[in-house]
A and B are shown apart, each in its own frame.
Chain A
């Protein structure tokens, strides 16, 4: 059976293991993967990177990050220029930014004219101007698999009201926006608006369309079709970064009305599965269990590949498409690939154009080169595979619960216990074993590339590292032991009990790699004579414990929302403490140092300046001495990609990077064929074997028939001697 099917396939294609059609592979399409189905594509709720990875290609907030520039720089996307900011006092008079009586800041956004939404049935109107597909017959709806199965599509120009509409949707409690509670502190009138509309919405049926257009937010003013003003309480320069996030992407009300029809709701066709925007692509197919397909938006507004802005050390090849109209691809196919093993193998076979997978697979691909940089192994280089890497604006840390009796507290001996552990938990080794050198040990909470991070000797955390011969060197384990003795635990023995000090480490156990990680962690503490008890649990319960302050030591991470030190230091700001806020705060270590908090408040709304830098360094010194975290590491993102794939440049904050990418389909076809030639001889061997066996069986049967002439006993046979 197997041979038969394989034989049949042999007639069809050169590569039997080709997971796509040859036609698709030959077209201007990018093949990539997603590891978990995104839960939400609705910009009002989407907040995780795998969701943004898709919707950022479809939706356009007002601003974006420049694709190439470092440090991260904002630039207008749908605006004619960067928003202008003016400051007012409570009476509405313009004042200076430093004024005492400053009440709010006003951001003015001027839209580029002529930007069109993607073609969509929701915009389609008949000659009289009435919507064709609203209302939609339920029978017609029941046969749809996607909104694009409807024949009539139309478009509409983007207006300032669409942006205002998005903010109004965010305000609606029923939409569960994760940033509403944050934004209510900033956007004038959002809180009152939210309470009002949420209450009114609650009285209506859950599925019905709720038109938000008649309601107005005090601080969001649509001046005309192309101008929008947003008023912010006080001074909040970071709001600019928020304008580059998908929460502020425009939402056309027609589409929301269209999707609210019962027939479509039952077919899983809604804003959450088929979002609509002005971006370079639209979501043509959405089967989250299998595949998502983005297709070029035919009415995408004019945008060009940047001609300059190449940061230091970046190859010129990144500018080979300079000045070309975006997007460069016609289609992007995302295939669901939950497991890293097949993902990696398919990448090697050429069926994924790029790969970003686990450390195990990278082992064979990447090694540390002589200069200490990552480099491809010979085998990979031979295949023409290329690599880009960059430190991500992310920090992973081992947090101590500062409210804990044993590991918390601010006395000198308690500090020393934490400092000793900080030295003993050797993150350089962790990176070497588990990350295959894809990362750097952190010296503080702020990752490289973010203002406040200092390189070299200036950036060293002297409580854990030394600066020796131009590199960071972890202090010796003897130093740690000495600190531990000073902390009152000589050789790790707890004088109170006479037994080794016992600490609890809360961890999330999900994958097969976790056991090794836990073993490793236990080993690190063992070096100090401390016995580490590991309590592994699922992510939910882990979060719950941390939130309630029940955890003692735990591992967590934070990725930048925007490139500002405030976005990292607020993780240590006392009033954000998990326990202090009853669970909603993100300072999960419950760190609260009054001096640190005072400096934070001072630093938070400053523009980047030498003064700000000085304050940040002072804060870093405080938290390093307190050692509230073992500053773990900053991971290094690593993208491997094939020779036919161009313009790859890791930019964790610019999620809308697909429009800059391009592929060379012919080269891809050629390489795939070269790498996947089926090995045929085992087939012939198996066929031969079966032939021999059957001949033997037939002859044996014949012989038996002959033999059967003598009457035979009814022995069931096979009785084991």
Chain B
């Protein structure tokens, strides 16, 4: 096995490290810590956060890439690796991924969606729905399907519950130790809903998520739980693969946007004069160009550069990844303006405040003023913008892919799924499952993000206090 670090992998793991570091810093400031605890005191926020964590873990799992060693190697020679890059998620889904059919099939179907012509042994031509190659192959008789599904579902649920029970107990034990309580005491508080945070909701959400995942995963080995697409690919697998695309666009774009908005916004507000003029000119100009045109044009430019330099990429995955990176960069470069404007206004306000002017009069350096006084005081604006933007960006990906300037067409993404589904909806009978899967996976993520951002806004926005 050979590790492959794609650009976006590096970025997203770097972000995780940064987040952990940041979490450690804020845990030392009681004031900020209290704010965050206030956010999580809401049951909805807690449930949303758990859901977001699920999505994030899937995305992270899908951000560990490697190339497997080829079988039949002659010892002594240099090891040869497969040309295909696989991710940890691919590896987990290996069996489901490889169970491709010929063409469309409905969720849990045993036969193809459309009929084909076959010749029987006597040479007669028949019109029938062909059996699927993989789905239900373990069944001796199609009539057993219902009972088989029930049986397997029960098994999956039981395993998931057992697992979540174990993990929850571990967490309980840890909390109990941290708070100096006995295990039973802590458990009782949680069940009554009287713990410091709504842990009951958290545990329930966690168990539910685990049950759903386990059910999908286990049954996915025997049936196409969400059907198959036009060339027989499993839709469940595609939906899971799309998680990374969605989450990364939402998360990494802010990573690109933040430094730009922070540096430009604060310097415009603090230095004023010609710096302010130039920055204002920059963002007004960028804002005046209709957003989607600007994005479309930039994406087309990068696409051209990519096609002209095929030698940069060793595998198709790297190419698609680079395009994702570029899309993220472009979205970041085109979306910093609104946050920048907010930051500029806030900085202007803060720098008028007496203690700041006083600090300046005492000759405190600009850098110190920024880190001591300005940054902490604009942090809430930044946070609110980040969480608000996340869901908007996930939705934007779908629209951009529809217009043809989204992620690489070979990359799994909800936008590409929806795009494809448009044609499928015109069929009779309708092929609804691709659209449905994309809808559900996307809806849950965006809903969770929206609910969470709602709470963040409510707690952090000084207007609400």
Residues on B close to A: CB < 8 A? 42-45, 77-78, 80, 83-84, 102-103, 114-117, 125, 127, 229-231, 233, 300, 303-304, 307, 310, 315-316, 404, 408-410, 416, 419-420, 422-429, 454-455, 458
Contacts and interface: CB of A to CB of B under 8 A. Distances in A.
B158 to A, nearest CB: 32
B420 A344 contact: no
Given A516-B230, A519-B231, A720 B455 contact: yes
Contacts of B310: 504, 533, 535
Interface stretch (A273-281, A321-329, A495-503): A495-503
A359 to B, nearest CB: 9
Given A533-B310, A533-B316, A519 B410 contact: yes
Given A519-B233, A535-B310, A360 B428 contact: no
A720 B426 contact: no
Interface in A484-518: 498-500, 502, 504, 509-510, 512-516, 518
Nearest to B411: A515
25 contacts: A340-B423, A341-B422, A341-B426, A360-B426, A360-B427, A367-B117, A498-B80, A499-B83, A500-B83, A504-B310, A510-B404, A513-B230, A513-B420, A513-B423, A515-B409, A519-B231, A533-B316, A535-B310, A536-B409, A537-B303, A537-B307, A538-B303, A719-B458, A720-B43, A720-B455
The 8 closest A-B pairs by CB, nearest first: A364-B428, A512-B419, A341-B426, A537-B307, A360-B423, A515-B409, A531-B83, A512-B420
A685 to B, nearest CB: 23
Contact of B114 (A363, A370, A372): A363
Interface centre among A371, A500, A515, A537 (most CB of B within 10 A): A515
A372 B42 CA distance: 65
A1 interface: no
A361 B231 contact: no
Nearest to A502: B83
Contacts of A520: 231
A675 to B, nearest CB: 14
Given A368-B117, A499-B83, A512-B420, A721 B43 contact: yes
Contacts of A514: 409
A489 B396 CA distance: 45
A250 to B, nearest CB: 42
Contacts of A513: 230, 420, 423
B410 A515 contact: yes
Contact of A367 (B42, B115, B404, B429): B115
A contact patch SS: mixed
A500 B43 CA distance: 54
B409 A518 contact: yes
Interface residues of A, number: 45
A562 to B, nearest CB: 34
B347 to A, nearest CB: 29
B103 A340 contact: no
A367 B229 CA distance: 20
B316 A345 contact: no
A192 interface: no
A385 to B, nearest CB: 13
A514 B304 CA distance: 18
B83 A360 contact: no
B428 A341 contact: no
A70 interface: no
A506 to B, nearest CB: 9
Contact of A433 (B103, B300, B307, B423): B103
A514 to B, nearest CB: 6
Contact of B42 (A371, A531, A721): A721
Interface centre among B45, B410, B424, B455 (most CB of A within 10 A): B410
Contacts of A504: 310
Nearest to A532: B316
Given A499-B83, A516-B420, A535-B310, A341 B425 contact: yes
Given A515-B409, A535-B307, A720-B45, 7 more contacts: A341-B423, A361-B426, A367-B115, A433-B103, A500-B83, A512-B416, A512-B423
A364 B115 CA distance: 10
Interface string A319-341: 00000000000000000000111
A613 interface: no
Nearest to B81: A499
A639 B240 CA distance: 40
Contacts of B458: 719
A149 interface: no
A502 B314 CA distance: 10
Given A500-B83, A512-B423, A534 B316 contact: yes
B431 to A, nearest CB: 9
A358 interface: yes
B304 A541 contact: yes
Interface string A431-451: 011000000000000000000
Given A509-B409, A537-B303, A516 B427 contact: no
Contact of B426 (A344, A502, A510): A344
A237 B114 CA distance: 49
Contacts of A607: none
Contacts of B230: 433, 513, 516
Contacts of A200: none
A379 interface: yes
B410 A518 contact: yes
Contacts of B102: 433
Contacts of A367: 115, 117, 127
A515 B84 CA distance: 17
A358 B423 contact: yes
Given A500-B83, A510-B404, A720-B455, A364 B42 contact: no
Contacts of A510: 404
A206 B78 CA distance: 68
Nearest to B430: A364
B307 A515 contact: no
B127 to A, nearest CB: 7
Interface centre among B77, B115, B315, B423 (most CB of A within 10 A): B423
Contacts of A372: 117, 125
Contacts of A531: 83-84
A281 B44 CA distance: 67
B427 A512 contact: no
A541 B307 contact: yes
B29 to A, nearest CB: 25
A554 to B, nearest CB: 13
A500 B115 CA distance: 37
A433 B422 CA distance: 18
A433 to B, nearest CB: 6
Interface in A341-375: 341, 344-345, 358, 360-361, 363-364, 367-368, 370-372
Nearest to B310: A535
Nearest to A343: B426
Contacts of A341: 422-423, 425-426
A534 B410 contact: yes
Interface centre among B83, B115, B303, B422 (most CB of A within 10 A): B83
A719 B38 CA distance: 13
A537 to B, nearest CB: 4
Nearest to B304: A541
A674 to B, nearest CB: 18
Nearest to A371: B125
A720 B404 CA distance: 40
Contacts of B404: 510
B98 to A, nearest CB: 12
Contacts of B42: 720-721
A177 to B, nearest CB: 30
A534 B379 CA distance: 45
